[in-house]
A and B are shown apart, each in its own frame.
Chain A
Amino acid sequence: MTTETEPIRERLRPRIVKTGETGRLDLDLTAVGEPRLAPPPRRFPSPLAVALTGLGILVAGVAGIDLVQFVDGAFAHGTSVGVLAAVTVAAGAGGAAYWLVAELRGLMRLRSVERLRRLIPSALSGELKQEIDAAAAILARDPLLGEAVMSYRAVIEPHHTGHDALELFARFVLAPADGLAQAAIRRAATQAFAINAISPTVLLDTLLFAVRAMRLIREIAEIYGQRPGLAGTVHLLRRLVGGAGLVGAVDVVGGVIAQQLGGAVLERLSAGAAESAYAAQKMARLGLVATALCRPIEFRPGEAPSLAGLVSGLWKSHTNG
C-alpha cells in the first residue's frame, strides 16, 4: 500500500481520465452471484495417507475379486441365481459408493470451512470480501440458513469494503446460525440433565452422554454448513481434542467448587440433581467449544456466547414460547 511517507516524485497525483463510455451508471441494489471457491493449494500427501490409500485399494481390490468370483460362482449354479447375485452385488457396491461420495463431500466442506477460518483473519480488505462470499456460498446450501444468506446477498453492495462485508455477514448470517447453535446446545443440555437423572447405572449414563454429545457436535457442524459424515465426524473430534481439554479443565474446576461448596450448598440439594445439573453444564460447555470450532469465521472479542447467555436464552425461549 502506498503511504504518505513515499517521496512526492513517485506518488501519483490526482488525475481525471476521460473515457469514451457514455450513459449513466446503474447504482441500484444488485444481488451478488454465488461465488466459487478457489482451488486449495496443492500439497504432497502425508506418508500415512499414502499408506491408508494403498491399504484401501488392497481391500477394495480383494473385495472386488471376491465379489466377481462370488457372482461367477452363482452363475455356475444357474442364470437366475447368477443374475440375483449380480444385482445384490451391484446394489451393495452402489450403496457403498454413495456413502463414500457423501463422506468425501462432507470432508471437502469441512476443509473449505477450515481454510476460510485460516484465511479470513489475515485477509486484506478486497480478499476478505471474496472469502466471505465463499463462506456465504457454503452456508447457502444449509436449508436453515439459505434465507439468511439471501438476506446477506440482498444488502451487500459492490462499494462495501471487506470489513463492511464481514460485519454484514456476522449480522445477517452468523447471528441466526449462532442462534440455531445455541438452541441446539440448550436442547442437548436439557437432555443431558434428564439422561443423568433417570439413568440407572453410571456406565449407561456415560454411554448415553457420549452419544448425545456426538449428536450435538454433528448438529452444530451441520448448522455451520459442514454436514460431516463418519470421516468428517472423526476429523471434527480430532479438532475437538484441544477443546475437550477445556471441558476437562471445567470438570476439574467444577469438582473443586463442588468439594468446597459441598458442605454448604450441595448438601441441601439432592446429590442426583446436582450431578444432573453438572452433566448439563458439561454438555453446554462442549457445545460452546464445538460452536467456536465449527463457525466459519471466528468470534470477535466479546461476541462468543457464554453459559450465562445460554441460561438467559433458555428462560427467554420458555417465556416466548
Chain B
Amino acid sequence: MRPLRFDRLPILTGLLHDRNVRLAVTGLSGSGKTAFITSLVGNVLSAVGRPARLPFLRAAAERRIIAARLSAPEGQTVAPFPVRDTIAALAADPPRWPPSTTDLRRADLSLRFTPAGFIGRAAGGTAKLGVEILDYPGEWLLDLPLLAQSFRDWSRTTLDLARRGARAPLARDWLDFLARHPADGAADPEAARQAHDLYRAFLAACRTQEQLSLLQPGRFLNPGQITDTSLLWFCPMPFAVGGRVREGRMAALMEARFEAYKRVVVQPFFSRLARGVDRQIVLVDVLRTLNAGTEAFADQRLALETILAAFRFGRRSLLRLLFGARVDRVLFAATKADHVPALQRDHLEALMANLVAVPTLQAQRAHARVAATALASIRCTEDGTDVIDGRKVDIVIGLPAGGERRIHFFPGIVPVTPPPEGFWGERFTEFPVFQPPRIERAAGNGVPHINLDKALDFLLGDALA
C-alpha cells in the first residue's frame, strides 16, 4: 500500500475549491452599473490590506483573501471595462462620476483565498477564484421578451401603452406620422426610417421627461456597437383587426426588420451573455422613480416584471429554454441608498423585496436564490438631522456635483410596499446628484460604500467559502 503524500494535500484544496464565477451586472440607464463595478473592483483589490472595508463579506472579514488582482480579459471578443479610467475620474480633483455603460464590457478579477471549510483547512494550501464581471446596458434585457413575441403582438402592446397616460402627448408626432403611412401602404424605406426616428425620439422623451423605464427595443436608446444600423429602422405598426401582412406593404417591411433585429442583434447577444453566467445583479434606481411620480414608478415596475420574466426560474425560463443559461443567484439592488438616512434604508430594502416577491418564491421552488437589498456602490453622503416644517427629521448631508456648499436632503418617506393611490403628491424632479468622494488612484484604501459587502457576500460568498 502506498503511503499518503501529505505534501499533495494543498493541490487537493485547489481541486476542491478553485472555480470561476461569471457575474452579470445590469440595470436600467442611470442605475449605477459603472459605479458598482468600479467600487467592486476597488474594494476587492483593497480587501487584502483593508478588510475593514468589506466587513459583511465573510472571506474578507476573516482575512482569508490572500491576494487579489485585476487580470487582462482572455480573447478580444468583449471590450474590457475601463477600470483605470473610472478610477481616474473618481481620483480627479474635484472627483467626477465616470461615464455610463453603453456597450457590453468585461472585467476579470483573480482572487486567492484560504478555504473556510474543515477539509480545506485540514489540507492546507489556498484556492483560486476567477470572477468575470460582465457589464451591459439594462435596457438590452428588455429585448429578451421580444424573442418570444411576434411583430404583430409587440406592435399591439406597444401602441396600447403609447396611447395612454404620460406617453400619449409624447407619442403624438409619431402616431400622426403612422396615420399618414398606414401598415397596408406601399413599403417605403425612407418613410420607415422617418417612422423609426420619430419613435426613437418618443422613447428618448419618455426617458428624459417622464423617467419611464419600459422602453423597447432596448437598442433604440442604447445601440452599442451595431455594424449595420439599418437593422434598427423599424417601429411598431397599427394592424387592422384580422388583417394580414402582405408582401410589399409597409407592415411587411417593418416586420422583416423586426425579425432581422431579433436574429442578428438580440439572439447573438443573449447567447453570448447567457453562456456560463452563474450570478446576476440587477441594479434599480427605485428612489428616482418614486420621486418622479406614480406613472414612472408603475412603469419601472412593469419593466422590472418584464426583466423578471426572463429570469423566471425552472424549466420555463426563457434564458434557459433558448440559451441553456443556469443563473442560480439573482440579486435585485435598490441603488443610491446613500440618498436616504439609515432607517429609511431598511424601508428601501423592504420595498425592493416586495417588488420582486413573486419571482423570489418561484426561485425558491427551483432551488435558486433571489434576494433584494439597498446599496450605494459609492457613498457620497453622511447621515444627519434637520428641522423641516417644525419637525425633526433624519436627512442626508452631501456636496452636490458641481456645487461648493453642502446640502441637506430629505428624501421623503420611503414606503415598504408599492405605495397606494393616496401616497402620490407632486412630482419631485430635483433629485440631487452628489459629488463622489475622492479616492486614491492606487488601490489600497478602497471606496466608501453602503452594503456592497452584503451584495458580494450573497453573490460570491459560497465561492469563497
A interface residues (Cβ-Cβ under 8 A, vs B): 1-4, 6-8, 11-25, 27-29, 125-126, 154-156, 158-161, 163-164, 167-168, 171-172, 316, 319-320
Q: Which residues of B contact A171 (CB under 8 A)?
A: 55, 61
Q: Please, how many angstroms separate the alpha-carbon atoms of A125 and B394 in the complex?
A: 13
Q: Tell me which residues from 383 to 420 in chain B have a Cβ below 8 Å from any Cβ of chain A.
A: 383, 386, 388-389, 391, 393, 395, 397-399, 404-413, 415-417, 419-420
Q: Which residues does chain B contribute within 8 Å of A11, judged by CB atoms?
A: 412-413, 425
269-320 of chain B: CB within 8 A of chain A: 291
Contacts of A27 in B (CB 8 A): 379-380, 382, 437, 448
List chain B residues, Cβ under 8 A from A159: 338, 342, 379, 382-383, 450
- Tell me whether B342 and A155 are in contact (CB under 8 A): no
Extra A-B contacts (5), CB below 8 Å, given A12-B393, A25-B398, A154-B52 = A4-B419, A17-B408, A21-B397, A27-B437, A125-B342
A97 to B236, CA, bound (A): 91
Q: Are A16 and B432 in contact (CB under 8 A)?
A: yes
Task: Indicate if the CB atoms of A155 and B399 lie closer than 8 Å.
Answer: no
- How many residues on the B side are at the interface (Cβ–Cβ under 8 A)? 58
B343 within 8 A of A: yes
Which residue of chain B is the closest to A315 with respect to CB atoms? B118
B393 surroundings in chain A (CB, below 8 A): 12
Query: Roughly how many angstroms separate A17 CA and B445 CA in the complex, as a whole number?
Result: 32
Q: A13-B426, A22-B404, A24-B435 are in contact. Are A4 and B420 (CB under 8 A)?
A: yes
A134 CB → nearest B CB, Å: 19
* Contact partner, A28, options B425, B426, B448, Cβ 8 Å: B448
Contact (Cβ within 8 A) B346 A14? no
Kindly state the separation between the CA atoms of A35 and B304 in the bound complex, as whole angstroms: 44
How many angstroms from the CA of A155 to the CA of B419 in the assembled complex?
35
* Interchain CB contact under 8 A, A17 and B422: no
B441 to chain A, nearest CB (A): 16
**Which A residue sits closest to B118, measured CB to CB?**
A316
B430 cross-chain contacts in A, Cβ below 8 A: 16
Q: How far, in angstroms, from A167 to B55 measured CA to CA in the complex?
A: 10
**Contact pattern, B 65-100, Cβ under 8 Å of A = 1, otherwise 0:** 000000000000000000000000000000000000
From 111 to 132 in chain B, residues with beta carbon under 8 angstroms from any chain A beta carbon are 118, 121-122
Q: Is B438 an interface residue (CB 8 A)?
A: yes
Instruction: Evaluate whether A17 and B407 lie within 8 angstroms (CB atoms) in the complex, with A4-B415, A4-B423, A24-B437 already known.
Output: yes
Taking the closest CB of chain B, its distance from the CB of A184, in whole angstroms, is: 22
| Chain A residues near B343 (CB-CB < 8 A) | 1, 125-126, 161
Chain B residues within 8 Å of A19, by CB = 397, 405-408
- A21-B405, A22-B406 known; A12 vs B389 contact (CB < 8 Å): yes
Residue of B nearest to A21 (CB): B406
Assess whether A12 is in contact with B388, with CB atoms less than 8 Å apart: yes
- Do residues A4 and B413 form an inter-chain contact, with CB atoms below 8 A? yes
B423 proximity list for chain A (CB < 8 A): 4, 8
Give every chain B residue within 8 A of A8 (Cβ-Cβ). 422-423, 425
Chain A residues with CB under 8 A of B425: 8, 11, 13
